[in-house]
Amino acid sequence: MKRAVIMSAALCLSCIAAADSPDDWAGRDGKPSNLRAGTGCLSVADTAKEFYVFSAKPLPVHPDGKYQLTGTFRRTGSNRNVPRLYFGIAMYDGNGKWMNGFQSCPLEGTHTELAAPAKKGDRVLKLRDASAWKKQASAIAFGAKADFSDLPNRNISPAITHIEKSSDAWEVTLRHPLGKDHPAGTPVRQQSGPPYLYVRAGAPLDGEWKTFTSGIIGGPGLGRDRLWKGTAAVKIVIFSAGGQKAGMDLKEIVLKEIKP
């Protein structure tokens, strides 16, 4: 039989507690959240210009851990817009720095090297072999290691806009100029991923309570359904689609560590 150790949004270990205080949450950049205490829940007014909150305290995680996130939400107020819920986990490295997908999510089979020097200001880089690279929102990670020990790799290029085979190499075009020099032969890989590990992204809400639960999320490592390699701690993140004023209630926001 499995035993669940419950971490609330207040991130208490070995206890069960509701996320019943606005003090359990913080806004972006350390600002106070715009959550307020409701009846058996927390609420954000439908007049709010933005709804974007993180659990206030980081929760340490470990590679052999197994985790599950759940939360219950509904639309409130008279706003005609249908709120779009984004609910997930933000990841941080051992220095407390946030990790995004461009820094943390390698695309399989894309390890190669620069076929020519890449200089500061360049927008077209030459790679030895980009045949496995995908045409999607992504970046070039420099100094990539075959064992992925460089992850999270923040030595990345601006976003990739085009990949094309030329006569002597593969040419990768960047949205903005490269920020610094890299010599020929520098090992690189393609990396792509979202800012957070989502339970739901863009889920529409109505006036009825809806509960969203993740699958079992493995501890930090490589592969699907795991926290990203290099993660030392996590926070719960909840926000609504940008530019929309949308009222929302939330309750029973719980991150569980599943133990045998």
**pTM to 2 decimal places:** 0.88
Q: Give all strands (DSSP E) within 93-206, no chain letters.
A: 98-99, 112-113, 124-127, 139-142, 160-165, 170-174, 187-191, 197-204
Distance, in Å, from the CA atom of 83 to the CA atom of 241, rounded to the nearest integer, reads: 7
Task: Report pLDDT digits (tens) over 199-231.
Answer: 999 998 888 999 999 999 999 998 888 999 999
Provide the residue range defining the domain that includes 137: 101-193
Asked if residue 113 and residue 81 are part of one domain, the reply reads no
Asked if residue 90 and residue 140 are part of one domain, the reply reads no
According to DSSP, residue 157 is labeled P
Asked if residue 11 and residue 96 are part of one domain, the reply reads yes
Distance, in Å, from the CA atom of 70 to the CA atom of 213, rounded to the nearest integer, reads: 4
Asked if residue 173 and residue 46 are part of one domain, the reply reads no
Asked if residue 57 and residue 161 are part of one domain, the reply reads no
Query: pLDDT averaged over consecutive 10-residue blocks of the chain (260 residues)?
Result: 43 40 86 86 80 90 90 81 87 96 96 98 98 96 97 97 94 97 98 96 91 94 91 93 76 86
Distance, in Å, from the CA atom of 130 to the CA atom of 160, rounded to the nearest integer, reads: 12
Q: Which two tokens stand for residue 121?
A: 């200001």
Of 166, 193, 220, which residue constitutes the final position of a domain? Answer: 193
Of 163, 193, 223, which residue constitutes the final position of a domain? Answer: 193
Asked if residue 111 and residue 184 are part of one domain, the reply reads yes
pLDDT of residue 33: 86
User: What CATH number is given to the structural domain containing 24?
Assistant: 2.60.120.260
How many separate domains does the chain show?
2
Asked if residue 177 and residue 243 are part of one domain, the reply reads no
Asked if residue 244 and residue 125 are part of one domain, the reply reads no
Specify the amino acid at residue 122: D
Asked if residue 84 and residue 122 are part of one domain, the reply reads no
Asked if residue 207 and residue 145 are part of one domain, the reply reads no
Of 193, 210, 241, which residue constitutes the final position of a domain? Answer: 193
**Residue 23 phi, psi dihedral angles, 5° rounding:** -70, -15
Asked if residue 86 and residue 10 are part of one domain, the reply reads yes
**Residue 17 phi, psi dihedral angles, 5° rounding:** -150, 140
